[in-house]
Amino acid sequence: MSEIHFQHVTKIFGRKVEAVKDLSFIIEDGEYISLIGPSGCGKTTTLRLLAGTIMPTKGRIFFDNTSMENVSIQDRNIGFVFQHFAIFPHMNIWENVAYGPSVRGKSKKDIENLVEKALKSL
């Protein structure tokens, strides 16, 4: 995994809608986080910026001190869970959270630890 650094990131849609305003944070290598907040606060926009499906209006995003400004979506190695609680409605919450690490080839023990840590943070 990489250290992720948002540096004064802003995303404006159209002329007026400031979905993310001057957001700065660092996620350390190996750190597991959740974005939680009310509808319209910028969670999904932040994830889309991170994944590269949209670009910031202002500011920069770095993975291990490398700017993601010109890095394509497929080269970022990022996945995210959409606002709906389950990507796969036929799976329970635990299985949905475990899906990402399992398709990345993590060991069963690592998956269990990651899922338990993530679910405890909620």
| 2-33 confidence digits (pLDDT tens) | 899 999 999 999 988 999 999 999 999 988 88
Over the stretch 49-86, which tens digit does the pLDDT of each residue have?
999 989 999 999 999 999 999 898 888 888 666 655 55
| Residue 46 near residue 20, CB atoms below 8 Å | yes
Three-class secondary structure of residue 53 per DSSP = coil
> Residue 91: CA atoms inside 13 Å, Cβ hemisphere, count?
12
d(CA 55, CA 53): 7
Report the run of H or E that residue 44 belongs to, with start and end. Answer: helix 43-51
Count of domains forming the chain: 2
Whether 100 and 75 map to the same domain: the answer is no
Q: What are phi and psi of 43, to 5 degrees?
A: -60, -55
Mean pLDDT of 30-38: 87
Residues 6+ apart with CB under 8 A from 27: 3, 4, 5, 33
Whether 70 and 119 map to the same domain: the answer is no
Three-class secondary structure of residue 62 per DSSP = strand
Note the pLDDT of residue 85.
56
- Per the structure, the complete domain to which residue 114 belongs is given by 84-122
pLDDT class for 38, splitting at 50, 70, 90?
confident
More confident residue, 103 or 113: 113
Domain of 66, CATH number, reads: 3.40.50.300
Note the pLDDT of residue 42.
93
Please indicate, yes or no, whether the overall pTM of this predicted structure exceeds 0.75: no
Whether 72 and 52 map to the same domain: the answer is yes
